[in-house]
Amino acid sequence: MLKILFIGDVFGKMGRITLKRTVGKLKSKYKIDLVVANADNLAHGKGVTESTLKEAREAGVDFFTNGDHAFDANQMELYKNQPIIRAANFPPDTPGKGWAMVNTNEYNILIINLLGRVFMKMNYDCPFRKIDEILANNFLPENKPSAIIIDIHAEATSEKVAFKHYVDGRVSAVLGTHTHIPTADAQISRKGTAFVSDVGMVGSNENCIGVDKEFIIKEFLTQISYQKKIPEKGESIFCSVLLTINPKTAKTEAIKQIIEKININ
């Protein structure tokens, strides 16, 4: 069986420290073949940099997906030579790729990143049509995916659920990211597609989805935007899902939510 650990949005320094303290022991405990993490908030909550990506790789993450903050740090070169993708439904000329075939041991794992459109600020291409385009690729027998994993980075639960039904039976897993709150709907369809509306996040658990709560409350009270403060100490949460996939059929046989908390002082 193929085992893949998918980690939700890693937020800032606390998130990176949490990876260091958590990923290694989980890889050993569950005999994981591949670790994937969403890097949309890796660098101080806004995008990803070369140094923060290196730190997460040293913590044990093998590959990275992204989201709407993919280019906030303005480090376009990362998408040429690092194990990271951006959403496939960005415009065609956007730096980087929206999917990748990751090889681990004897397995070929197709990882796809997509952005939702409901309640999102930018006008992305249609993720439904884009997935049809990607899956229409005629993969050679020697490069046939043992698993197909989709990170759909979206705000609306309805859009994620509709997308799950749209690709049901065609992919191994549809894993939601972006809202930072782990949902209680982890499931596997009759056709073997795993789903969760949102995996959750890795970072401060005592504030507002990774950001200092005082600033967020102040914004709600005043309707004025303030510069955000990112906590670096306190209780941190680690949210992920562990997938067990039959590589012969690319169907998921088990999905397990792994959520842990640690203290960072």
Q: Report pTM.
A: 0.97
Q: 3-class secondary structure for the chain?
A: CEEEEEECEECHHHHHHHHHHHHHHHHHHHCCCEEEEECCCCCCCCCCCHHHHHHHHHCCCCEEECCCCCCCCCCCCHHHHCCECCCCCCCCCCCCCCEEEEEECCEEEEEEEEECCCCCCCCCCCHHHHHHHHHCCCCCHHHCCCEEEEEEECCCHHHHHHHHHHHCCCCCEEEEECCCCCCCCCEECCCCCEEECCCCEEEECCCECCECHHHHHHHHHHCCCCCCCCCCCEEEEEEEEEEEEECCCCEEEEEEEEEEEEEEC
Does 69 participate in catalysis according to the annotation? yes
Tokens found for residue 109: 């794992």
The CA-CA-CA angle for residues 169, 172, 174, to 5°, reads 95
CA distance 71 to 20: 24
Residue of 44, 69, 153, 180 with catalytic role: 69
Find the range with the poorest average confidence among 46-55, 101-110, 117-126, 136-145: 136-145
State the pLDDT at residue 137.
Answer: 84
pLDDT tier, 253 (very low <50, low <70, confident <90, very high otherwise)? very high
pLDDT at 263 over 90: yes
Sort residue 180 into left (φ over 0), alpha (ψ -120 to 50) or beta.
left
Tokens found for residue 110: 């197709």
State the pLDDT at residue 151.
Answer: 98
pLDDT at 120 over 80: yes
State the pLDDT at residue 30.
Answer: 98
Output the average pLDDT for the chain.
96
Residue with tokens 């049901």: 168
The answer for residues whose C-beta is within 8 angstroms of residue 33's C-beta and 6 or more apart is: 2, 3, 4, 104, 105, 107
What b/e sequence results for 157-189 when a residue is b if at least 16 CB atoms lie within 10 Å of its CB, and e otherwise? bebbeebbeebeebbbbbbbbbbbebbeebebe
pLDDT average, residue stretch 101-125: 94
Find the range with the poorest average confidence among 89-93, 102-106, 161-165: 102-106
State the pLDDT at residue 171.
Answer: 97
pLDDT tier, 34 (very low <50, low <70, confident <90, very high otherwise)? very high
Is pLDDT larger for residue 121 or for residue 63? 63
pLDDT at 222 over 80: yes
State the pLDDT at residue 143.
Answer: 78
pLDDT at 209 over 90: yes
Task: Tell me the domain boundaries of the chain.
Answer: 2-204+232-264
State the pLDDT at residue 72.
Answer: 94
Q: Are strands 251-264 and 234-246 parallel, antiparallel or unpaired?
A: antiparallel
pLDDT at 212 over 80: yes
Tokens found for residue 92: 């065609």
pLDDT at 228 over 90: no
pLDDT at 182 over 90: yes
Of all residues in the chain, what percent carry a pLDDT higher than 70?
A: 99
CATH class of the domain at 2-204+232-264? alpha beta
Amino acid identity at 69: H
pLDDT average, residue stretch 225-250: 95
Q: State pLDDT tens for residues 139-181.
A: 767 778 999 999 999 999 999 999 999 999 999 999 999 999 9
pLDDT at 112 over 80: yes
pLDDT tier, 29 (very low <50, low <70, confident <90, very high otherwise)? very high
